[in-house]
Amino acid sequence: MIIRCTQKLLAELKIGLMHEPSENDPFWSWHANVFHVERRKCVLITNDMTLFTMFIPGLKKPDFKSFHFVIGEHLFKNLLYENIPQPQIEAVLSQCRNMTFQKTTNRRVLGSMNDQKTQLEYLISAEGGLARTNIYELNKEVNRVTFSAINRRRPIDVLKEELRNHDE
């Protein structure tokens, strides 16, 4: 799994970049950005192929030191919340073991992430702030918005289809 980080996130992680792997399946590639909501550091992670997104709020310094575990944990919980079958969750989590960090490469994904960030900020505000927001429900809602970048489909539908394809 490749996590393509913005410059801000790379600075936060304080890690060296790994060389680009020779074989690159876009399904296992994600883009990630760090930003602030209510003065708390938050990360938005979006799958390159499906635009499936995870919002991870309230990260602190130790979270960035073990960022690969944070991603794996939130990915697991979000997939469970979406009722993804156990074998498919296990397949995704097995990819987390070989996580590498790169620079961002896809402006289309970054543009979609900016749209999702705006939606998240609005939804958090409408809920009364981060403390009153169910993060998994928030992620579920954001992943049900259609995007022209994936042919007017919803990220959750594309993710489920791709998980079935990778399962075969």
Q: Judge whether residue 21 has pLDDT over 60.
A: no
CA distances 6 to 17, 33, 35, 71, Å, are 12, 5, 10, 16
Q: 10-19, 116-125, 136-145, 151-160: which has the minimum mean pLDDT?
A: 10-19
pLDDT-based confidence at 146, cuts 50/70/90?
very high
Q: Judge whether residue 90 has pLDDT over 80.
A: yes
Q: Judge whether residue 96 has pLDDT over 80.
A: yes
pLDDT-based confidence at 147, cuts 50/70/90?
very high
Q: Judge whether residue 22 has pLDDT over 50.
A: no
In this structure, what CATH number is given to the domain that contains residue 141?
A: 3.30.420
Q: Judge whether residue 166 has pLDDT over 90.
A: no
Q: Which strands, in side-by-side order, build the sheet including 2-5?
A: 53-59, 40-47, 29-37, 2-5, 100-103
pLDDT-based confidence at 26, cuts 50/70/90?
confident
Specify the number of domains making up the chain: 1
**What is the model's pLDDT at position 118?**
95
Quote the domain boundaries for residue 150. Answer: 2-167
Residues found in the chain: 168
Euclidean distance between CA atoms 168 and 164, whole angstroms: 7
